Amino acid sequence: MTSAAPQPLARRVNTPVDTLTIDVRVDAGGRAVLTARGELVHGCVQTLAEALAELPPGTGRVDVDLSGVTFMDTAGLGFLDTLDDHGRRHPVRVTTTGWTGQPRRILELAGLGTTGPPHPPAGGTGPVRPEPRVTSAVALERAERLLQLQTEVEQLRRAIASRPVIDQARGVLMATHACTPEQAWDILRETSQRSNTKLRTVAAAVTEGVRSDGPPPPEEIRTALRSAITHSAGV
Protein backbone atom coordinates (compact mmCIF):
# COMPACT_ATOMS: atom_id res chain seq x y z
CA MET A 1 0.00 0.00 0.00
CA THR A 2 1.37 3.39 -0.90
CA SER A 3 1.03 6.38 1.40
CA ALA A 4 -0.87 9.41 0.19
CA ALA A 5 0.95 12.69 -0.39
CA PRO A 6 0.64 15.14 2.49
CA GLN A 7 -2.38 17.40 2.18
CA PRO A 8 -1.76 21.15 1.93
CA LEU A 9 -2.35 22.99 5.20
CA ALA A 10 -4.45 26.13 5.24
CA ARG A 11 -5.19 28.14 8.37
CA ARG A 12 -5.83 31.72 9.52
CA VAL A 13 -4.32 33.27 12.64
CA ASN A 14 -5.57 36.58 14.06
CA THR A 15 -4.12 39.06 16.53
CA PRO A 16 -6.03 39.42 19.78
CA VAL A 17 -7.48 42.73 18.55
CA ASP A 18 -7.72 41.68 14.89
CA THR A 19 -5.21 44.26 13.66
CA LEU A 20 -3.40 41.52 11.74
CA THR A 21 -4.44 38.26 10.13
CA ILE A 22 -2.08 35.67 8.70
CA ASP A 23 -3.31 33.05 6.26
CA VAL A 24 -1.08 29.98 6.37
CA ARG A 25 -0.81 27.60 3.43
CA VAL A 26 1.65 24.72 3.18
CA ASP A 27 1.93 22.90 -0.13
CA ALA A 28 2.86 19.27 -0.61
CA GLY A 29 6.48 20.23 -1.28
CA GLY A 30 6.95 21.62 2.21
CA ARG A 31 6.81 25.30 1.24
CA ALA A 32 4.80 27.50 3.59
CA VAL A 33 3.22 30.72 2.34
CA LEU A 34 2.13 33.17 5.05
CA THR A 35 -0.10 35.95 3.72
CA ALA A 36 -0.34 38.84 6.19
CA ARG A 37 -3.09 41.47 6.09
CA GLY A 38 -3.59 44.46 8.37
CA GLU A 39 -1.09 46.30 10.55
CA LEU A 40 2.24 45.34 12.10
CA VAL A 41 1.56 46.85 15.51
CA HIS A 42 1.36 45.60 19.10
CA GLY A 43 0.37 41.93 19.04
CA CYS A 44 1.79 41.13 15.60
CA VAL A 45 4.73 39.16 17.04
CA GLN A 46 2.38 36.86 18.94
CA THR A 47 0.30 36.31 15.82
CA LEU A 48 3.37 35.39 13.78
CA ALA A 49 4.70 33.10 16.50
CA GLU A 50 1.39 31.22 16.58
CA ALA A 51 1.38 30.88 12.79
CA LEU A 52 4.95 29.56 12.74
CA ALA A 53 4.20 27.12 15.56
CA GLU A 54 1.43 25.58 13.44
CA LEU A 55 3.81 24.71 10.58
CA PRO A 56 4.19 20.95 10.19
CA PRO A 57 7.55 19.20 10.63
CA GLY A 58 9.51 19.10 7.41
CA THR A 59 8.58 22.61 6.29
CA GLY A 60 11.61 23.59 4.26
CA ARG A 61 10.82 27.16 3.30
CA VAL A 62 8.73 30.04 4.62
CA ASP A 63 7.64 32.84 2.28
CA VAL A 64 5.81 35.78 3.88
CA ASP A 65 3.67 37.95 1.60
CA LEU A 66 3.24 41.42 3.16
CA SER A 67 1.46 43.15 0.27
CA GLY A 68 -1.68 43.30 2.42
CA VAL A 69 0.06 45.14 5.29
CA THR A 70 -0.95 48.81 5.32
CA PHE A 71 0.79 50.16 8.42
CA MET A 72 3.82 49.35 10.53
CA ASP A 73 5.37 50.81 13.65
CA THR A 74 8.43 49.65 15.58
CA ALA A 75 6.58 46.45 16.55
CA GLY A 76 7.16 45.40 12.95
CA LEU A 77 10.87 45.03 13.69
CA GLY A 78 10.00 42.49 16.36
CA PHE A 79 7.92 40.72 13.70
CA LEU A 80 10.99 40.50 11.46
CA ASP A 81 13.22 39.38 14.33
CA THR A 82 10.80 36.55 15.14
CA LEU A 83 10.76 35.48 11.52
CA ASP A 84 14.54 35.67 11.34
CA ASP A 85 14.96 33.64 14.55
CA HIS A 86 12.65 30.96 13.17
CA GLY A 87 14.81 30.61 10.07
CA ARG A 88 18.00 30.40 12.13
CA ARG A 89 16.72 27.83 14.64
CA HIS A 90 15.34 25.22 12.26
CA PRO A 91 17.09 26.18 9.85
CA VAL A 92 14.88 27.03 6.85
CA ARG A 93 15.00 29.67 4.16
CA VAL A 94 12.75 32.61 5.03
CA THR A 95 11.78 35.43 2.67
CA THR A 96 9.55 38.49 2.86
CA THR A 97 7.99 40.11 -0.20
CA GLY A 98 5.30 42.62 -1.11
CA TRP A 99 6.46 45.59 0.96
CA THR A 100 4.56 48.71 -0.15
CA GLY A 101 3.57 52.15 1.09
CA GLN A 102 4.36 53.24 4.63
CA PRO A 103 5.79 49.86 5.78
CA ARG A 104 8.26 49.91 2.88
CA ARG A 105 9.32 53.45 3.83
CA ILE A 106 10.06 52.34 7.39
CA LEU A 107 12.27 49.52 6.13
CA GLU A 108 14.14 51.87 3.82
CA LEU A 109 14.72 54.37 6.62
CA ALA A 110 15.89 51.55 8.86
CA GLY A 111 18.35 50.41 6.22
CA LEU A 112 16.69 47.00 5.79
CA GLY A 113 16.04 45.25 2.47
CA THR A 114 12.51 44.83 1.12
CA THR A 115 13.12 41.48 -0.57
CA GLY A 116 14.75 38.22 0.43
CA PRO A 117 15.45 37.13 4.01
CA PRO A 118 14.63 39.64 6.77
CA HIS A 119 18.32 39.71 7.74
CA PRO A 120 20.21 37.90 4.94
CA PRO A 121 23.36 35.99 5.93
CA ALA A 122 26.69 37.29 4.72
CA GLY A 123 27.29 34.76 1.96
CA GLY A 124 25.99 31.26 1.35
CA THR A 125 22.48 29.81 1.42
CA GLY A 126 23.07 26.83 3.70
CA PRO A 127 22.17 26.44 7.37
CA VAL A 128 22.97 29.51 9.39
CA ARG A 129 24.40 29.28 12.88
CA PRO A 130 22.96 31.64 15.48
CA GLU A 131 25.10 34.71 16.02
CA PRO A 132 25.26 36.96 19.07
CA ARG A 133 23.59 40.32 18.57
CA VAL A 134 26.14 43.11 18.46
CA THR A 135 25.40 46.71 19.36
CA SER A 136 27.17 48.76 16.71
CA ALA A 137 27.17 52.33 15.47
CA VAL A 138 24.93 51.22 12.61
CA ALA A 139 22.45 49.63 15.04
CA LEU A 140 22.39 52.76 17.19
CA GLU A 141 21.83 54.95 14.14
CA ARG A 142 19.03 52.65 13.02
CA ALA A 143 17.38 52.84 16.43
CA GLU A 144 17.57 56.64 16.33
CA ARG A 145 15.99 56.71 12.87
CA LEU A 146 13.19 54.45 14.03
CA LEU A 147 12.50 56.63 17.04
CA GLN A 148 12.24 59.67 14.78
CA LEU A 149 9.99 57.77 12.42
CA GLN A 150 7.76 56.59 15.25
CA THR A 151 7.33 60.20 16.35
CA GLU A 152 6.47 61.19 12.78
CA VAL A 153 3.91 58.39 12.50
CA GLU A 154 2.20 59.47 15.72
CA GLN A 155 2.07 63.05 14.46
CA LEU A 156 0.52 61.89 11.20
CA ARG A 157 -2.07 59.83 13.08
CA ARG A 158 -3.03 62.83 15.20
CA ALA A 159 -3.21 65.02 12.10
CA ILE A 160 -5.53 62.56 10.37
CA ALA A 161 -7.75 62.37 13.46
CA SER A 162 -7.90 66.17 13.66
CA ARG A 163 -8.70 66.72 9.98
CA PRO A 164 -12.53 66.61 10.24
CA VAL A 165 -12.56 69.30 12.95
CA ILE A 166 -10.20 71.52 10.96
CA ASP A 167 -12.28 71.09 7.81
CA GLN A 168 -15.42 72.06 9.74
CA ALA A 169 -13.72 75.18 11.09
CA ARG A 170 -12.59 76.16 7.62
CA GLY A 171 -16.18 75.81 6.43
CA VAL A 172 -17.38 78.05 9.25
CA LEU A 173 -14.85 80.75 8.38
CA MET A 174 -15.66 80.52 4.65
CA ALA A 175 -19.38 80.93 5.36
CA THR A 176 -19.12 83.74 7.90
CA HIS A 177 -16.29 85.76 6.34
CA ALA A 178 -16.68 84.99 2.62
CA CYS A 179 -13.10 83.78 2.34
CA THR A 180 -11.51 81.08 0.20
CA PRO A 181 -10.46 77.66 1.56
CA GLU A 182 -6.82 78.80 1.44
CA GLN A 183 -7.61 81.99 3.36
CA ALA A 184 -9.59 80.02 5.96
CA TRP A 185 -6.61 77.73 6.46
CA ASP A 186 -4.26 80.71 6.83
CA ILE A 187 -6.60 82.28 9.40
CA LEU A 188 -6.65 79.09 11.50
CA ARG A 189 -2.90 78.69 11.31
CA GLU A 190 -2.21 82.33 12.18
CA THR A 191 -4.69 82.16 15.07
CA SER A 192 -2.89 79.09 16.37
CA GLN A 193 0.46 80.87 16.20
CA ARG A 194 -0.76 84.16 17.73
CA SER A 195 -2.53 82.45 20.63
CA ASN A 196 0.12 79.75 21.10
CA THR A 197 -2.66 77.16 20.87
CA LYS A 198 -2.75 73.87 19.00
CA LEU A 199 -4.42 74.10 15.62
CA ARG A 200 -6.96 71.41 16.50
CA THR A 201 -7.95 73.29 19.65
CA VAL A 202 -8.45 76.49 17.65
CA ALA A 203 -10.55 74.64 15.07
CA ALA A 204 -12.71 73.03 17.77
CA ALA A 205 -13.27 76.42 19.45
CA VAL A 206 -14.34 78.01 16.13
CA THR A 207 -16.70 75.13 15.34
CA GLU A 208 -18.29 75.01 18.79
CA GLY A 209 -18.61 78.79 18.92
CA VAL A 210 -21.15 78.92 16.08
CA ARG A 211 -23.54 76.51 17.74
CA SER A 212 -26.52 78.03 19.51
CA ASP A 213 -25.62 76.28 22.77
CA GLY A 214 -21.89 76.23 22.19
CA PRO A 215 -19.39 78.06 24.41
CA PRO A 216 -17.57 81.07 22.96
CA PRO A 217 -13.87 80.64 22.19
CA PRO A 218 -11.48 81.60 24.99
CA GLU A 219 -10.42 85.25 25.02
CA GLU A 220 -6.90 84.60 23.73
CA ILE A 221 -8.28 82.66 20.76
CA ARG A 222 -10.93 85.31 20.04
CA THR A 223 -8.32 88.06 20.05
CA ALA A 224 -5.94 86.11 17.84
CA LEU A 225 -8.79 85.14 15.51
CA ARG A 226 -9.87 88.76 15.02
CA SER A 227 -6.30 89.77 14.21
CA ALA A 228 -5.90 86.88 11.76
CA ILE A 229 -9.16 87.71 10.00
CA THR A 230 -8.16 91.37 9.72
CA HIS A 231 -4.75 90.42 8.37
CA SER A 232 -6.31 88.06 5.84
CA ALA A 233 -8.65 90.79 4.62
CA GLY A 234 -5.70 93.11 4.15
CA VAL A 235 -7.16 95.76 6.44
Per-residue pLDDT band at 157 (split at 50, 70, 90):
low
Averaged pLDDT score across all residues of the chain: 77
Residue 67: its H or E element:
strand 61-72
Residue 52 burial class via C-beta count within 10 angstroms: exposed 0-12, middle 13-18, buried 19 and up:
buried
Q: What is the mean pLDDT of residues 150-173?
A: 73
Share of the chain above pLDDT 70, in %: 70
Give the separation between CA 40 and CA 203, rounded to whole angstroms. 32
Residues 95, 14, 154: CA angle, nearest 5 degrees: 80
Residue 49 is predicted with a pLDDT of: 92
Cβ partners under 8 Å of residue 57, min gap 6: none
Strands lying side by side in the sheet with 20-26: 9-14, 20-26, 31-40, 61-72, 93-97
Nearest to 44 by CA among 67, 4, 13, 68: 13
- Average pLDDT estimate for 42-70: 90
Higher pLDDT, residue 130 or 208 = 208
